Amino acid sequence: MSSLTIVGFFALANGERVVSTKPNSTVRTAHCIYTTAVQCSPSVALPAQIRVYSPQNDVPLADGLVAFVVAKAAFPLHESVLLDAYFVVPLPGDPTKEEYD
């Protein structure tokens, strides 16, 4: 599996809040997982998932929202690209409006 750092604008969808506990520990880690795509060329896009660590009481971002993301990307064979975000800035606006681009 190859990995690299990826920087770009990504449309986020299907946000889901996940809380996990480390084995043999009481430490809980919260994050949101979103589906997106990595656009390689005008005709090629790879399905991807973005994992964003966040406080336990945060709510997932709205579907269709665009965010500037810096993430570690992993490319497992025959699976979706995995993006482990360490910097996410959602673009302001309402993604349900036609003028949001």
Quick one: average pLDDT of 81-99? 89
Choose between 19 and 83: higher pLDDT: 83
The residue among 94 and 46 whose pLDDT is bigger is 46
- pLDDT given at position 20: 87
pLDDT bucket at 101, cuts 50 / 70 / 90: low
Which residues, including other chains, have CB under 8 Å from residue 53's CB and lie 6 or more apart? 29, 30, 31, 85
66 pairs with which residues across the strands? 11
Domains belonging to the chain, first-starting first, are 2-90 (2.40.50)
In the chain, % of residues over pLDDT 90 = 58
Q: Report whether pLDDT(100) > 80.
A: no
